[in-house]
Amino acid sequence: MRIVHVSDCYAPRTGGIETQVRDLARAQAAAGHEVHVLTATPGPEGERGGVVTDDEGVRVHRLGAHVPFDLPINPAAVPRMRSLLAELAPDVVHVHAGVVSPFAFDGARLALDVGAPTAITWHCMLDGAVPALRAAASRTRWRTAPAALSAVSAAAAERVAAVFDTEVGVVPNGMDVERWSPHAEPAGTVVLRAVATMRLAPRKRGPALVAVVEDAMTQLDPGSLVVDVFGDGPTRDRMARSVRRRGLDDVVRLHGRVPREELWAAYQGAHVFLAPAVLEAFGIAALEARSAGLVVIAHRGTGVAEFVTDGEDGLLVDDDAQMARALVRLAHEPELRARLQARARAVPPPFAWPAVLARADAEYTRARSIVGR
């Protein structure tokens, strides 16, 4: 099958969409498909303007422009995208969308114009945007566009369905479960070791995480909790200042961005993963931590609920105060922590690549049936 993915964002940028699209495309290429990615993100050496790079068997068409901060936008790419779709004649076009995805939406419009089977996956929570998007869809052809719509989790799919009043599937992120599985016994120290991995951007709520830790420390003895934060982004300096101001220098450690291989090693000595985002459509970092046998604490109603069951292998909370209390509880109740961690280690999440590729193939079949091909 010839698959063309269209995404504003792709590696070397880091984030949820970038990781999901790249991992999916690579897994499809490894399965024998011919896979292309059209993206507005420049390559690792600044490649753009139509340069094609190879990413482990995936042909990445770098259609970005020279814009400040290498933002993944290029309104002038439409003619080149149209030519590529005509040249490649894909069996399916898989568009990856966020709330604001001008490049992806241009790709969706062009794919529909040429009658290509089109699958559109939302990688975001549309909370707060549903009424406006619903009104916009009702005034345009998007409400009845012949495309198979999906999202990365059931929670995200509910919001998409509210916009379009149609069937919305789920295409979750996949992963190499064996690669992330725990190989060492859980740490048995009296210190509760927690980790958080995220892009340090406002939506991920890194500063709120620091406040959660401060709240927890009012109920814990000094030295009983350590929180290692991995990731980088625009809120890092703010978080560092907050850590110093709150007197948490011995508790919260900001490590910056590290390779995924180093994350696995860090998870081997940890007990808990903290996911402070409230608009988390899926949660790749949380999935990796869950696969590594950590007890995930996350907000209820997010995509993390796809692979964390409250009270069985993790804890789901309603607000930041409950997240702090959950941390305290795991510190004070080592038997609970051990039970949850044993379950997380024994039962891997159901997102190995064969299962996820089957979900994607089902959406592609649905897209072809919609256009009668």
Q: Are 29 and 35 in contact (CB under 8 A)?
A: yes
Rounded CA-CA distance 352/333 in Å is: 32
Sign of CA dihedral 136, 141, 144, 150: negative
Beta strands 34-39 and 2-7, pairing class: parallel
* Comma-separated ranges of CATH 3.40.50.2000 domains in the chain: 2-174+352-371, 177-346
Query: Three-state SS string across the chain, please?
Result: CEEEEEECCCCCCCCHHHHHHHHHHHHHHHCCCEEEEEECCCCCCCCCCCEEEEECCEEEEECCCCCHHHCCCCHHHHHHHHHHHHHHCCCEEEEEECCCCHHHHHHHHHHHHCCCCEEEEECCCCCCCHHHHHHHHHHCHHHHCCCEEEECCHHHHHHHHHHHCCCEEECCCCECHHHHCCCCCCCCCCCEEEEEECCCCHHHCHHHHHHHHHHHHCCCCCCCEEEEEECCCCCHHHHHHHHHHCCCCCCEEEEECCCHHHHHHHHHCCCEEEECCCCCCCCHHHHHHHHCCCEEEEECCCHHHHCCCECCCEEEECCHHHHHHHHHHHHHCHHHHHHHHHHHHHCCCCCEHHHHHHHHHHHHHHHHHHHCC
Q: For the chain, first and last CA: distance in Å?
A: 13
**Sheet arrangement for strand 192-197:** 252-256, 225-230, 192-197, 272-275, 295-299, 314-317
| Total Cβ atoms within 10 A of residue 80 | 15
* Per-residue pLDDT at 300: 96
User: How many residues comprise the chain?
Assistant: 373
* Per-residue pLDDT at 207: 97
Q: Please state the CATH superfamily assignment of the domain spanning residues 177-346 in this structure.
A: Glycogen Phosphorylase B; (3.40.50.2000)
* Per-residue pLDDT at 105: 94
* Per-residue pLDDT at 371: 82
* Per-residue pLDDT at 65: 83
Q: Are 318 and 300 in contact (CB under 8 A)?
A: yes
Angle among Cα 336, 342, 348 to the nearest 5 degrees reads 130
Sign of CA dihedral 321, 256, 263, 351: positive
* Per-residue pLDDT at 187: 63
* Per-residue pLDDT at 183: 79
* Per-residue pLDDT at 204: 95
* Per-residue pLDDT at 139: 84
Contacts of 10 (CB under 8 A, 6+ apart): 18, 21, 22, 37, 39, 41, 60, 72
Residue 230 — φ and ψ, nearest 5°? -115, 135
Reported as a single tens digit per residue, the pLDDT across 138-168 is 888 888 889 999 999 999 999 999 999 999 9
Sign of CA dihedral 16, 26, 357, 365: positive
Instruction: Using 70 as the pLDDT threshold, list the residues of the chain that sit under it.
Output: 69-70, 186-188, 373
Rounded CA-CA distance 311/326 in Å is: 11
Extract the tokens encoding 310: 């409250």
Q: Please state the CATH superfamily assignment of the domain spanning residues 2-174+352-371 in this structure.
A: Glycogen Phosphorylase B; (3.40.50.2000)
